[in-house]
C-alpha cells in the first residue's frame, strides 16, 4: 500500500484503490489462486502495490514485493527491444531475410493445409524477414497452437519450449527440418518467432542472448532480478506454479525442472524470471520513449514504431486462440497495442497502451495517455491450444484470468472517479 497523499497527488481516489485488494484476495480465500503481486504507478510514482496470498501454499510462504515469477511471454517485449536496438545501430533491418544469419531457416517449405499431412507442402514464396519474427507473421508455430500432424512434429523435434537442453544451434537446426504452418507474411500465427529472434540477436552480436540482455538492458536499467536462470540463493523468492485440479476441486502444484547452471537454451519468447519492481523499470523505459533515469536504450521514434499496428485488415479478422483479439487491439513490433478497450480483458487502457501477457497469467500494461503502468503477477497454469479463448476465461481453473479484470477495472475506476470529481 502507499500513502493517501501520493494517490491523490497522482489523481487517484485512495479508497477506490484500496478496495481492489479485498476483491482480489477473495480469489485466494476461495482457493482458486495461490497469490498475487500487483504494482501500479502514475508519472513514475508508485500509487498502489499489493501482495496477496502465498508464493507457496504448502509452506505458507507469503507473497512479497520482490517475489520472483516466471514471466513467460512477457519476455517477448524485452527481446524485441534488444532487436530494435540493433535496428537503430544499422546491424539489422526489418526487411532483412533472417537466413542471412540463420541459414538453417533458408529454402523452407510451407504446409498446403496447416492441419494437413507434413509431406503436402509448397515452397515458401519469400524468405522470413526480421519484421516477420517481430510480428509473428513468419509462419513458425508453437506445438500447442498447432493442429494435426504439425503439433506432434514440433513436440518431437524441439521438445519442451521452456526447459530445453539443446544449444541454440541444435534447436535452430531441428526447427529447420519442420515445414512452416503458413506462408511468411500471410497471418499472425503465435509461435517460436521471438525465440528465433533472440538467437538471431545472439548471432549478430556474437555472444549469447542472455549476455546481450544483461549488458544492454538489465544492467543499464537496474533489473538485477531478471534472468533466464535462477541461482540457488534466490530460489526461496520464486513463486510456485499451480494449476487447478477441477476433479479434486483444489490447487495442485506444478513443479517445472530448474536448471543447476545457466542454460545454453535461452528462449527469447518466454524464458525469463523477473519481479514486479524489475518489470516496472522496463515498462517505464518504454513509456518514457526509450529512456529511464538518464539511460537511453531506444529513440522515441523507435518506440513509436514498436507501438504502431502492423497487421492488415484481413489479418485482424483471424482469431487469436479463439478470441477476436485484433478487433480491439493492434500488434506492432513485439507489442500489442490497445485501440478500443470496450469489453476487452486483454488490453484495457487508453488507445496506444502497450501490453503482452504471459501464459502463467502474468500481465502488464503501459498507458501513455494516462502515464500509467499496471503490473499483475500470478503463477497459474491453464491448458492452452489453438482455440482455448473461451476456456481460459471460464471455470475456477481460469481464476487468474477472471481476477485480472478486477484489477484493471478497479484501477481505472479509481482514476476516473477523481477525474469526474474535479470537473
The residue to which cell 503436402 is assigned: 120
Residue 18 contacts residue 3 (beta carbons within 8 Å)? no
Give 215-226 pLDDT, tens digit per residue.
999 999 999 999
| CB-based contact 270:144 (threshold 8 Å) | no
> Rounded distance, CA 359 to CA 348, Å?
18
Distances, alpha carbon 353 to alpha carbons 45, 287, 300, 328, 349, in Å: 18, 9, 15, 12, 6
Predicted TM-score (pTM) of this structure: 0.95
Given a cut of 50, whether residue 383 has pLDDT beyond it is yes
Residue 201: pLDDT band with limits 50, 70, 90: very high
CB-CB contact of 351 with 339 (8 Å) = yes
What are residue 51's phi and psi, to 5 degrees? Answer: -125, 120
Strand-pairing partners, residue 376, are: 38, 363
Task: Identify the helix (H) or strand (E) that includes residue 175.
Answer: helix 168-175
pLDDT score of 395: 55
User: How many secondary structure helices (H) and strands (E) does the chain include?
Assistant: 14, 17
Q: Percent of the chain beyond pLDDT 70?
A: 93
CB burial string 286-313: b at 16+ within 10 A, e below: bbbbbbbeeeebbeeebbebbbebbbee
Helix 276-287 vs helix 75-88: crossing angle, to nearest 10? 40
Mean pLDDT confidence for 300-304 = 98
If you ran DSSP here, which 8-state letter would residue 232 be given? G
Whether 80 has a pLDDT exceeding 50, the answer reads yes
Nearest Cα residue to 109 out of 97, 125, 98, 95: 125
pLDDT band of residue 203 (cuts 50, 70, 90) is very high
Q: How far apart are CA 192 and CA 175, in angstroms?
A: 9
Structure confidence at residue 421 as a pLDDT band (50, 70, 90)? very low
- Cell digits of residue 299: 529513440
The whole-number pLDDT of residue 401 equals: 74
> What are 56's strand-pairing partners?
61
> Checking DSSP bridges between strand 380-381 and strand 241-245, what pairing results, if any?
parallel
CB 52 within 8 A of CB 32: no
Burial tier of 236 (Cβ tally within 10 Å: 0-12, 13-18, 19+): exposed
- pLDDT on residue 96: 98
How deeply is 123 buried, as exposed, middle or buried, from its count of CB atoms within 10 A (0-12, 13-18, 19+)? exposed
380-381 sheet: strands from edge to edge: 250-254, 241-245, 380-381
The three grid cell numbers given for residue 339, joined into one nine-digit string: 485501440
Q: Tell me the per-residue pLDDT of 15-73, one tens digit each, with 9 for 90 and over.
A: 999 999 999 999 999 999 999 999 999 999 999 999 999 999 999 999 999 999 999 99
Residue with the bigger pLDDT between 103 and 248: it is: 103
Q: What is the greatest pairwise CA distance in the chain? A: 66
Confidence (pLDDT) at 232: 94
SS3 108: coil
**How many Å apart are CA 192 and CA 168, to the nearest integer?**
13
Helix, strand, coil % (nearest 5) of the chain? 35, 20, 45
Q: Coil, helix or strand for 82? A: helix
How far is Cα 224 from Cα 219, in angstroms, rounded to an integer? 7
pLDDT band at 384 (very low <50, low <70, confident <90, very high): confident
Q: What are the pLDDT digits (tens) for 106-159?
A: 999 999 999 999 999 999 999 999 999 999 999 999 999 999 999 999 999 999
Amino acid at each position: 500500500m502507499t500513502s493517501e497523499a501520493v494517490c491523490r497527488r497522482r489523481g487517484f481516489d485512495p479508497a477506490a484503490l484500496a478496495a481492489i485488494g479485498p476483491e482480489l484476495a477473495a480469489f485466494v480465500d476461495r482457493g482458486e489462486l495461490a497469490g498475487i503481486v500487483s504494482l501500479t504507478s502514475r508519472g513514475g510514482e508508485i500509487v498502489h502495490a499489493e501482495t496477496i496470498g502465498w508464493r507457496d501454499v504448502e509452506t505458507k510462504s507469503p507473497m512479497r514485493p520482490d517475489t520472483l515469477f516466471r514471466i513467460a511471454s512477457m519476455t517477448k517485449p524485452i527481446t524485441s527491444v534488444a532487436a530494435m536496438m540493433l535496428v537503430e545501430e544499422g546491424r539489422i533491418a526489418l526487411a532483412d531475410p533472417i537466413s542471412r544469419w540463420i541459414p538453417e531457416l533458408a529454402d523452407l517449405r510451407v504446409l498446403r493445409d496447416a492441419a494437413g499431412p507434413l509431406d503436402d507442402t509448397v515452397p515458401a514464396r519469400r524468405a522470413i524477414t526480421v519484421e516477420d519474427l517481430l510480428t509473428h507473421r513468419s509462419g513458425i508455430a508453437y506445438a500447442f497452437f498447432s493442429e494435426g500432424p504439425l503439433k506432434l512434429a514440433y513436440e518431437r523435434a524441439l521438445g519442451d519450449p521452456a526447459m530445453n537442453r539443446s544449444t541454440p544451434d541444435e534447436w535452430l537446426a531441428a526447427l529447420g527440418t519442420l515445414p512452416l504452418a503458413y506462408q511468411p507474411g500471410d497471418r499472425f500465427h503465435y509461435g517460436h518467432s521471438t525465440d528465433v529472434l533472440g538467437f538471431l540477436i545472439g548471432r549478430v552480436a556474437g555472444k549469447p542472448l542472455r549476455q546481450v540482455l544483461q549488458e544492454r538492458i538489465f544492467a543499464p536499467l537496474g533489473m538485477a532480478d531478471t534472468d533466464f536462470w535462477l541461482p540457488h540463493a534466490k530460489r526461496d523468492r520464486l513463486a510456485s506454479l499451480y494449476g487447478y485440479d477441477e476433479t479434486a476441486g483444489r490447487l495442485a502444484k506444478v513443479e517445472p525442472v530448474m536448471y543447476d547452471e545457466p542454460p545454453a537454451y535461452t528462449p527469447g519468447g518466454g524464458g525469463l524470471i523477473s519481479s514486479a519492481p524489475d518489470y516496472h523499470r522496463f515498462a517505464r523505459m518504454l513509456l518514457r520513449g526509450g529512456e529511464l533515469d538518464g539511460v537511453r536504450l531506444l529513440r522515441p521514434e523507435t518506440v513509436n514504431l514498436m507501438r504502431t499496428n502492423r497487421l492488415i485488415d484481413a489479418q485482424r479478422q483471424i482469431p487469436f486462440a479463439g478470441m477476436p483479439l485484433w478487433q480491439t487491439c493492434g500488434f506492432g513490433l513485439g507489442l500489442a497495442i490497445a485501440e478500443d478497450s470496450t469489453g476487452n480483458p486483454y488490453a484495457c487502457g487508453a488507445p496506444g497502451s502497450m501490453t503482452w501477457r504471459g501464459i502463467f497469467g502474468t500481465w502488464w500494461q503501459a498507458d501513455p495517455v494516462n502515464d500509467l503502468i499496471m503490473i499483475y503477477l500470478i503463477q497459474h497454469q491453464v491448458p492452452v491450444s489453438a482455440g482455448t479463448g473461451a476456456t481460459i476465461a471460464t471455470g475456477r481453473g481460469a481464476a487468474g484470468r477472471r481476477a485480472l479484470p478486477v484489477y484493471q477495472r478497479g484501477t481505472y475506476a479509481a482514476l476516473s472517479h477523481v477525474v469526474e470529481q474535479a470537473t
